[in-house]
């Protein structure tokens, strides 16, 4: 049954592609979106059924691709990711009904988008190397085309596309090498067979394959230092696409690392997992620092994706480390925390990206310094962004709180284990989690305080109004989930535990939920999100009651204090740049901000200034110190290499002769 539904999912997605390509303009968006929603719904059913029953959905055919079989086998672990993608996909497609991205309405984009969603849905089901790489590349290329949607209108899109193309293909190359190495060495390309035989492979093969997989999947997940494409591509992609990329696609990077490291290779030495934790810690700190100092809403969200991927990798690394040292219960706990963060990140980042696109459509900009006063002007989308922001800042009663709490607990409980690697890694992990938690709260205070509150800073922001109903329904569904999962995490935790339990070698000493509460089996500690929520509501009620009782006199309303200035305008408001300035200064070595002051003088006298303009930019340190020099070096080598073939036929003949001699010598 599930197998048939899985096939139906793929077919429905292809039907969406066909509809996008041939349907008349009038029905194009409606038809392709509706079919994509149907594909996601089918995917959701398959995923939920597999999660529930534990029976894998298997599809196997030898006729679809030449020389290799096409085979899908969706187990519980993959099903979790299918379900996440399906939920985000449905919301993004609903959102698309109201989205007026001109580019996204084109024939190309309308036919590519369903294909992208379908590939996202199918990647976690792939069960042999060829199928996996085929679907993975399909996902990479369709997402690249979607990032390029608006390339004709804005030149930044082209640059973003180039970065994305290079990084994703480098990652894919690493993946191909790693997976092919595993397949040839174990004599089969089926994941199930590799998983059995990999234990007998030499250590260097296993380690090489794992490191290559971490590089390949890490670049897709946006882990530092392979993240450089992410803060460029995610903001430039049209709204629904950026939501899908940030909330569904990066997850697959985490999926891949777990699938290869824990599934195919069944765990490995401590240094693998320390590597993963290191990448995670670096991503979390770097991402949260950059998102705290970004002033563009979508760029800020993109960096925060890097930050959250870092937290997921921290959990995955901790889990591998625990498993390696024999702490099975803790290993599962850490993996559950990481996967739970994947789920919740998808939910809140989806709603944040979608509502940021609503802001873009309503106010014409995502530059925080051009926004302001939107909470009142967008009475639905504003609160949706607010909910997403509270959830990502890990404040109860929203969902981010639960997963970060679990992650923290799993790392803290590893401390008494007595293992040196754990004793060193876990406190660092806890520190990183604390630092990024603070920075995330800072970031979203900025995004909400500067972007949504205050006075509008431009006329466009002044005229902004609420967006169309499909848009806020799409984003709102996810925001509602933020609250529901935050209050009642027991709705998802059992499924996540089942999914994590599908990873070989992990099992749980008891249930992770007890009634409404989250309990930690084998270790002391419990969380009652329901009670926290009730407490918060009760506390809010008490405050309101207290105010009501105390406030006998009428409230006196006065102007906001502005140093007694006569004229208060939006230009005197705090800006996102100045809000992040202290942090930029403290972390000057990492962020290396550049400042440009342009002063123009009056024509009559150079002693008087006509206008002064200050530009501040913050560069990505990895881009500046690693990628740009590498790029320059390649260009230089290219220039040298160009001198070798100079167009002379004699020289080419000589090359041919020399090559022939070399080949003969080598063969002889």
Site string for another protein, 144-183 (x = CB under 8 A): ----------------------------------------
- Answer yes or no: are the C-beta atoms of 323 and 332 closer than 8 Å: no
170 or 453, CB closer to another protein? 453
Neighbours of 470 (CB within 10 A): 16
Site string for another protein, 107-146 (x = CB under 8 A): ----------------------------------------
d(CA 159, CA 176): 26
Minimum CB–partner distance for residue 565 and another protein (Å): 7
Minimum CB–partner distance for residue 568 and another protein (Å): 10
Buried b (16+ CB within 10 A) or exposed e, 58-95: ebeeeeeeeeebbbbbbbbbbbbbbbbbbbbbbbbbbb
Residues ≥6 apart with Cβ < 8 Å to 150: 101, 102, 103, 157, 236, 238
Minimum CB–partner distance for residue 557 and another protein (Å): 10
d(CA 309, CA 432): 13
Neighbours of 105 (CB within 10 A): 17
Single out the residue of 247, 231, 293, 513 nearest to residue 388, CA to CA. Answer: 247
Neighbours of 531 (CB within 10 A): 14
557 or 665, CB closer to another protein? 557
547 or 625, CB closer to another protein? 547
Minimum CB–partner distance for residue 561 and another protein (Å): 5
The 3-state DSSP class for residue 610 equals: strand
558 or 648, CB closer to another protein? 558
Minimum CB–partner distance for residue 574 and another protein (Å): 15
Question: 436: part of which helix (H) or strand (E)?
Answer: helix 420-446
67 or 563, CB closer to another protein? 563
524 or 564, CB closer to another protein? 564
557 or 649, CB closer to another protein? 557
The 3-state DSSP class for residue 511 equals: coil
Site string for another protein, 560-579 (x = CB under 8 A): -x-xxxx-------------
d(CA 593, CA 379): 36
Q: Binding to another protein (CB under 8 A): which residues in 335-394?
A: none
How many residues touch another protein (CB under 8 A)? 8
How do 526-527 and 517-519 pair as beta strands?
A: antiparallel
66 or 564, CB closer to another protein? 564
266 or 568, CB closer to another protein? 568
Minimum CB–partner distance for residue 555 and another protein (Å): 11
Q: Binding to another protein (CB under 8 A): which residues in 504-563?
A: 556, 558-559, 561, 563
Q: Would you state the torsion angle of the CA atoms of residues 393, 402, 407, 417, taken in this order, to the nearest 10 degrees?
A: 140
Minimum CB–partner distance for residue 553 and another protein (Å): 8
CB burial of residue 208 (10 Å; 0-12, 13-18, 19+): middle
Q: Binding to another protein (CB under 8 A): which residues in 35-54?
A: none
566 or 598, CB closer to another protein? 566
Minimum CB–partner distance for residue 542 and another protein (Å): 23
Minimum CB–partner distance for residue 569 and another protein (Å): 15
Q: In the numeric block, which tokens belong to residue 88?
A: 């985000």
Buried b (16+ CB within 10 A) or exposed e, 271-301: ebbbbbbbbbbbbbbbbbbbbbbbbbbbbbb
Minimum CB–partner distance for residue 573 and another protein (Å): 17
The residues that touch another protein, with contacts defined as CB under 8 A, are: 556, 558-559, 561, 563-566
């Amino acid at each position: 049954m599930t197998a048939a539904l899985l096939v139906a999912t793929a077919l429905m997605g292809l039907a969406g592609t066909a509809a996008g390509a041939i349907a008349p303009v009038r029905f194009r968006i409606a038809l392709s979106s509706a079919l994509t929603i149907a594909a996601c719904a089918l995917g959701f059913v398959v995923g939920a059924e597999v999660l529930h029953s534990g029976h894998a959905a298997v599809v196997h055919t030898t006729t679809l691709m030449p020389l290799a079989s096409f085979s899908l086998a969706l187990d519980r672990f993959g099903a979790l990711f299918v379900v996440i993608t399906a939920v985000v996909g449905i919301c993004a497609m609903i959102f698309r009904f109201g989205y007026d991205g001109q580019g996204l309405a084109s024939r190309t984009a309308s036919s590519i988008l369903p294909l992208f969603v379908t590939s996202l849905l199918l990647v976690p089901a792939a069960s042999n190397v060829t199928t996996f790489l085929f679907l993975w590349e399909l996902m990479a290329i369709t997402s690249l085309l979607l990032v390029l949607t608006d390339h004709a209108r804005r030149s930044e899109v082209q640059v973003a596309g180039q970065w994305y193309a290079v990084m994703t293909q480098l990652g894919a190359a690493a993946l191909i090498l790693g997976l092919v190495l595993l397949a040839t060495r174990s004599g089969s390309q089926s994941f199930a067979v590799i998983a059995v035989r990999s234990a007998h492979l030499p250590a260097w093969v296993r380690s090489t394959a794992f490191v290559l997989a971490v590089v390949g999947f890490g670049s897709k997940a946006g882990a530092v230092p392979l993240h450089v494409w992410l803060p460029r591509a995610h903001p430039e992609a049209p709204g629904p696409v950026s939501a899908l990329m940030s909330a569904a696609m990066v997850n697959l990077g985490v999926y891949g690392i777990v699938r290869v490291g824990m599934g195919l290779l069944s765990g490995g030495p401590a240094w693998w997992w320390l590597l993963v934790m290191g990448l995670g810690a670096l991503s979390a700190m770097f991402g949260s620092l950059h998102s705290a100092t970004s002033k563009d809403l979508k760029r800020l969200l993109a960096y925060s994706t890097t930050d959250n991927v870092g937290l997921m990798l921290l959990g995955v690394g901790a889990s591998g480390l625990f498993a390696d040292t024999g702490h099975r219960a803790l290993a599962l706990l850490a993996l559950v925390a990481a996967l739970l963060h994947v789920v919740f990140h998808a939910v809140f980042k989806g709603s944040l990206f979608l509502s940021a696109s609503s802001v873009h459509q309503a106010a014409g900009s995502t530059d925080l310094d051009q926004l302001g006063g939107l909470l009142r002007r967008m009475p639905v989308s504003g609160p949706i962004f607010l909910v997403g922001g509270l959830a990502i800042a890990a404040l109860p009663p929203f969902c981010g709180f639960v997963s970060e709490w679990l992650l923290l607990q799993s790392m803290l409980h590893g401390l008494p284990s007595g293992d040196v690697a754990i004793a060193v890694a876990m406190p660092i992990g806890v520190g990183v989690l604390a630092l990024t938690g603070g920075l995330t709260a800072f970031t979203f205070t900025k995004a909400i305080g500067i972007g949504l509150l205050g006075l509008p800073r431009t006329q466009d922001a002044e005229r902004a109004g609420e967006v169309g109903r499909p848009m806020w329904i799409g984003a709102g569904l996810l925001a509602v989930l933020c609250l529901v999962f935050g209050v009642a995490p027991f709705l998802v935790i059992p499924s996540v535990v089942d999914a994590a339990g599908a990873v070989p070698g992990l099992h749980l000493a008891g249930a992770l939920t007890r009634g409404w509460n989250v309990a930690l089996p084998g270790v002391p500690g419990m969380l009652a999100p329901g009670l926290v929520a009730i407490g918060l509501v009760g506390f809010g009620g008490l405050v309101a009651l207290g105010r009501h009782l105390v406030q006998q006199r009428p409230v006196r309303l006065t102007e906001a204090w502005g140093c007694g200035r006569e004229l208060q305008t939006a230009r005197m408001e705090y800006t996102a740049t100045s809000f992040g300035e202290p942090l930029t200064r403290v972390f000057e070595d990492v962020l290396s901000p550049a400042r440009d002051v342009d002063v123009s003088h009056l024509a009559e006298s150079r002693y008087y200034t006509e206008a002064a303009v200050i530009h501040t930019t913050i560069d990505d340190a990895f881009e500046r110190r690693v990628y740009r020099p590498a790029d320059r070096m390649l260009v230089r080598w290219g220039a040298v290499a160009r001198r070798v073939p100079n167009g002379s036929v004699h020289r080419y003949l000589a090359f041919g002769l020399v090559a022939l001699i070399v080949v003969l010598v080598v063969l002889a």
